[in-house]
Structure 1
């Protein structure tokens, strides 16, 4: 395992710069190319999610709301709780600012990607849909898009595993429950292995039910888990009101600390913020288009606007709540451990000694919803590389890796996923920039339609 981790660690520096160039460079290009128009339609995006513009006759399997919650279920999870803690552990409070900046750019990236997912999807006679980055690459770019689509799909077979989620949930359970002590009476077991097998069984019960079952479960879990987490964080903030403004000041001050101890200096801090933000909201990866491409709509721009809300919910809101909680509690100064241990300490210290138990329940909901939704992404990749009949076997491989992730180290898991994410960003961002004129043309027609409806 140490050898694998060494190999992955040696490749990460190259992947970092690739991700910075494509996600931030490509995202800024799309930002200016769109003339900031998607931001101006933020309120309209919310009205779309609320169903004000739904047409039951439109093709698709799931509603705008289900598509958003399914995509958010995959992103709002352990990346927001332990991912933020990892970012602060590695780069200090200033890294949060660069996560915010990446999220703002990520909103535009998701707008273009999910618009293209609807624009280039295939609706079969039986109502079955084919959508996602591999399809807008192949159909939109043509012959040159095929190698990009294959590259993306192969990387996705690794990137769309739930290994980080499983690993961090296992760490949380072992820290809070400590079964070797609390349940020692029933015998001496490998509890990490038992947790992995249990998660594999629970996940299997949902993911083999298909997209609609995943969407239904995600729509039920996501609002609940965000609500409970929000209440817990609000209690912490209200009992430490005097520390809120200083926490934000610390983030802004450290964001431009050119003497930072982070490896690579200031640019190392920026890269770390990009990596953790992409890990959190998946902007640029091409995952969200797979869900949003399944939504019931004939308007590509509508779905792009809905998808744009994802990074805002995920990083601007949820990650910020986690970061302020960690800073305000002093956990980032007192805990010298990578992963969720820092957030656990912040909750336990700030919520009267019971916060770690509450966080365990929240993490369980986060972990399950993420595991349910990630499997769908992997099946789409395998379906493209092989065929839809073969795709279902991804779930078997997916479930097997859950047990593996429970017993391996957090370092291996983080390096594996970071590398896969960087590789997935390359073909997807090339496709988004290549096809951006198509989205702009569609957006121009949509704005004209909106104007005509108002007059």
Structure 2
């Protein structure tokens, strides 16, 4: 197991090299510039679309804008925000958060383009149903000669969509917060029991299809975000005198890298810190990875730009807001320097420090919601990848593989699971970003036309009011 763990770690480090950094961050920055910072200029309009102002039940697609964002967020606003941030701080210190922010700001532009393309170039599966996602916009937008990229994305997605990290961290949380303090012996047996319970819950929902998934997570996501948000604000209030210092330290440590303990990159610790922040940011918001376009591609709309605007809100919500709150909670309590815990256990230590006796249990409830909702969404991504590769009539077979992976996630190490998903996320990002950069001019042309029509409608409405 040690050799397998090392092999997977080496694989993740190899694929997360300079070429991918240039593709993800350089490519995202390029999209931000050529769009003239469009994601930030139209935030208000994006919120109007999300609230349902422009919904039309007769538009093609399966789910509403809000359900599409909830499905995508249920996969991103989750353990990446609780455990992923803790991993980043444990290895990189406060400065890692700055580079996660950079990833999110650039990621908003990337998400706008990738998710606009997901609706603009929807394809049909072997059953004739409309589908969206990188594999479809590669085939429909670039043509069959680019099929190798679509296949690469789908094959990598079969592993990248597995819930092993979420399950691993949920199991760790239950052991650390609930079982060990109450004298229950933890080990392979208890982990298997947790895995089997998760298998049962997940099976009930995922075999119900996207409609059941979207309805379930659209109720769970807002609830769990609010609960977690309030809990962290209590921690920050209790330690309010420390907040300004650590908020400033995030910026200064981002370039000093004084607390970085990981592997160097390009000969220096700063390079290693940047890579760490980008990896954890990508895991948090998945901008450029290509999972979210599979959810947003199913939205009920015939306006691709609208869905791109809704999707770009994702990185702002999960990385700029939720990840920052988690990071500050860990930093102001000081547990990042006094505890040898990593992952979700470090976040739990912060909650316990600020809210003794009950803080841990509040976090556990949040973790259960975050993890289980993520389990529902990722299964949908994997079935879409298998459907593309082998036909829609075979997609249900992925769910059996997915269910078995839950048991693997519950019984293996954190490092193995996080490196496994990191590595395959990187492989998914390559075809997603290459195709997005090639098709970007098509999105810009569609955006220009869309906002011209919106301006005309506003002008006509004003003239009607004046008359």
Give the Cα–Cα distance (whole angstroms) in 2 for the partners of residues 141 and 441 of structure 1. 16
Deviation of 1:124 after TM superposition, in Å, equals 8.3
Q: Does structure 2 conserve the Cα–Cα contact (< 8 Å) formed by 1:114 and 1:307?
A: yes
Q: Does 1:407 align with 2:425?
A: no
**1:157 matched residue in structure 2:** 158
**2:147 matched residue in structure 1:** 146
Question: In the TM superposition, what are the counterparts of 1:20-419 in structure 2 within 5 Å?
Answer: 20-122=21-123, 128-178=129-179, 182-183=183-184, 190-257=189-256, 261-262=260-261, 263-264=263-264, 265-419=269-423
Give the Cα–Cα distance (whole angstroms) in 2 for the partners of residues 220 and 104 of structure 1. 27
CA offsets per residue over residues 394-434 of structure 1, 9 Å max, x none? 00100000011100011110111111011111111001001
Moved more, 170-179 or 197-206: 170-179
Q: Secondary structure at the match of 2:275?
A: helix
Q: Does 1:2 align with 2:6?
A: no
**1:422 matched residue in structure 2:** 426
Deviation of 1:126 after TM superposition, in Å, equals 8.9
Deviation of 1:337 after TM superposition, in Å, equals 2.4
Q: Does 1:432 align with 2:433?
A: no
Q: Does structure 2 conserve the Cα–Cα contact (< 8 Å) formed by 1:59 and 1:123?
A: no
**2:465 matched residue in structure 1:** none
Give the Cα–Cα distance (whole angstroms) in 2 for the partners of residues 180 and 297 of structure 1. 50
Structure 1 gaps, min length 5 = none
Give the Cα–Cα distance (whole angstroms) in 2 for the partners of residues 238 and 3 of structure 1. 45
Moved more, 310-319 or 240-249: 240-249
Moved more, 257-266 or 49-58: 257-266
CA offsets per residue over residues 283-314 of structure 1, 9 Å max, x none? 11100000101111000000000000001000
Give the Cα–Cα distance (whole angstroms) in 1 for the partners of residues 274 and 380 of structure 2. 31
Deviation of 1:441 after TM superposition, in Å, equals 0.5
Q: Secondary structure at the match of 1:242?
A: coil
Q: Does structure 2 conserve the Cα–Cα contact (< 8 Å) formed by 1:170 and 1:406?
A: yes
Deviation of 1:260 after TM superposition, in Å, equals 5.5
CA offsets per residue over residues 196-225 of structure 1, 9 Å max, x none? 111011000000000000000000100110
Deviation of 1:144 after TM superposition, in Å, equals 3.2
Q: Does structure 2 conserve the Cα–Cα contact (< 8 Å) formed by 1:132 and 1:290?
A: yes
Does the C-alpha gap of structure 1 residues 261 and 320 become closer, same or farther in structure 2, counting only changes over 3 Å?
closer
Moved more, 116-125 or 156-165: 116-125
| TM-score for the superposition, normalised by structure 2 | 0.94
Does the C-alpha gap of structure 1 residues 53 and 123 become closer, same or farther in structure 2, counting only changes over 3 Å?
farther
Q: Does structure 1 conserve the Cα–Cα contact (< 8 Å) formed by 2:123 and 2:140?
A: no
Structure 2 gaps, min length 5 = 460-467
Give the Cα–Cα distance (whole angstroms) in 2 for the partners of residues 160 and 214 of structure 1. 15
Q: Does structure 1 conserve the Cα–Cα contact (< 8 Å) formed by 2:104 and 2:281?
A: yes
Q: Does structure 1 conserve the Cα–Cα contact (< 8 Å) formed by 2:125 and 2:391?
A: no
Give the Cα–Cα distance (whole angstroms) in 2 for the partners of residues 179 and 25 of structure 1. 45
- Number of equivalenced pairs: 453
What root-mean-square deviation, in Å, do the aligned CA atoms of Structure 1 and Structure 2 show? 1.7
| TM-score for the superposition, normalised by structure 1 | 0.97
Does the C-alpha gap of structure 1 residues 188 and 397 become closer, same or farther in structure 2, counting only changes over 3 Å?
closer
Q: Secondary structure at the match of 1:241?
A: coil
Give the Cα–Cα distance (whole angstroms) in 2 for the partners of residues 195 and 177 of structure 1. 12
Deviation of 1:274 after TM superposition, in Å, equals 0.2
Deviation of 1:56 after TM superposition, in Å, equals 1.7
Q: Secondary structure at the match of 2:242?
A: helix
